Every structure is written in C-alpha cells, then in structure tokens.
Amino acid sequence: MPDDEFDSLFDDDPPKSGTPAGGKDHRHLDEDHLSRNPSSSEHTMPSQREQKGVPPHGEQQKRRSADDFQPDMDALLISAQSPLIIEGMKYLTAKDFSAATLQIYAEALKGVEVFIKILERNPNSYRNLRSAIQADTDCREIESVAFHLYRHKHREDPETDSEILRSYEMLRNSLKIGYNKALISSSIAQIKKYYLLSGGIDEDKITAMVRANSKEIKSDVARFTQHLNIAVQLMKLGDAEITKGLRGRDTNTFIIRASQLLACYYKATNNPTAEESYRRMHENYKKYFIIRE
C-alpha cells in the first residue's frame, strides 16, 4: 500500500526531461494547439476566482459557524450523560448509599451539570433541544423527575427559564446528598484502621505516624475532617440515614469516631485548641443522639 493515500493516483512517474516515447513533445503540441485556437484557453483554463473557490460575482456563500453545530453538540452531550444520571437516580430511589455507589453518584452529578450549563449559557439552546429530549427516553425521564421535584415544592410546574433551571438544581442537590452519604460510607470503612479490635482508638499507632511525618495520616485527617463536616450538616438537615432502618445512627457513629480520631491526632501534633474542639464534639455526639422527624 502506498505511503500516501494519494500516491495511487500517480503510479507512473512523469518523464524527467526530453521528448516522451512517441517522438512528439507535448509542450510543443500544447503551444501549437493554443496558437491555432487562442479562444480555447477560455474554456479549458479555470479562472483565478474558480481556482480559489471564490463564488462568482454577486453570489454570497454563508460560512458555517460554531452556532450551527451547537444544538447538535448539546443533543449529543445530554444523550451521552442521561444514562449516567438515570443510574444515579436509581440508586437514590433505592436509598443505596454504600461506598460502591460513590462513583455512580459522581458521574450522575456531572451529567446534571451539563443540563444546568446549557440552561445557564443560553435558555434558547434548551428550547431547541425539546424534540431531542422528547425523543430520548432517558432525557425525558430526567426532565420529568426534575419538574416533579419543583412541582412538589412550589405546587406548580416550572415555566420560566429560571424555574426550569431551578428544577435541575433541585435534582442536582438531591444527587449531591446521595453523593455525600456515599462519601461517609467510604470513610466509615477507612477509619477502622485507626481503631483496635476491642473498639478503642489506637493512640500508639497515631502517635507513631505523626512522629514519622506520615503522608498517609495527613491525607486521611484532611479527608475525615471534610467528611465529618458533611456528616454534621446531614444531621442538622435531618436527612442522615445511610443504612435503612438505622435512621442516621451510622452517621452519628462516624461523627463520634472521626471526632475522636481528630482529637487524638491534634494531641499528637501539639495543637490543644483543635484537640479540645474535637474532644468536645466527640463527647456531645457520644452522649446524645437526636433523631429529627
């Protein structure tokens, strides 16, 4: 196969010089023909405008811009993201917030962000996608759920651009709660390595890791601090249930363990202010478990 995809058009090399086989020089033939028929060049040679692809005088050729492709690209984006959103909604409905669902919720959130960005950038783009949304089963279901959330709260369907945007933001917030619960589930499993089989915290291990300037414990402390704050907010919202039937007791247990770990860590790093703050949180959540109805 030739190296260049166009090489096959020029299989025979052109003569390098002299008169080709047959005895007649093609250059002389062309010159003789043109001298006898001076007007023939008008028919055989394209004009400079034609060679450059310039339309004839008086004709205007519209160039396609990014705007011509935008609706198609948006339709492709939402069609690609919609199955991921549906998957996240499925686990949210099933109240499955196990650590294994963390990536599913993350992808679902990214998908909803696509819908939100389209609406924020230009609401007309969303209107232009109506036919594509109605033709796609997943997209139609996502819109239906988003509108249902808005209707459940405001007792009316979203009609204006801002109301439609708000409905998708409500869907994003619902998936965000699922994502946060899955985060806590992942930390509940990871925090066990800092506890003894008896259930007590392994202070010797924590102190040794601090003295060794361990990057692992620094990374874990940063993650547990973030997830602890999320867990506290879920408790305040009254939506802290991760495992069915426990009504948030697993979230409360995580707060107790994480705050104890952080108090121990800051004791080892000689930070009495932070140690006292987390020690107090530990004692409060250990003594009281309030269920918000």
Query: What pLDDT does 14 receive?
Result: 43
Report helix angle 137-154 to 102-121, nearest 10.
80
CA separation for the pair 152, 115 (Å, rounded): 20
pLDDT tens-digit map of 93-128: 999 999 999 999 999 999 999 999 999 998 888 888
Query: What pLDDT does 277 receive?
Result: 97
Cβ of 278: how many Cβ atoms within 10 Å?
Answer: 22
Residue 56's Cβ-count burial label (10 Å; 0-12, 13-18, 19+) is exposed
Query: What pLDDT does 15 receive?
Result: 43
In this prediction, the residues of the chain whose per-residue pLDDT falls under 70 are: 1-71, 290-293
- What one-character DSSP code corresponds to residue 15? P
- Token pair 């093609």: residue: 26
Query: What pLDDT does 41 receive?
Result: 42
Query: What pLDDT does 212 receive?
Result: 97
> What is the Cα gyration radius of the chain?
35
User: Whole-prediction pTM value?
Assistant: 0.72
Query: What pLDDT does 62 receive?
Result: 53
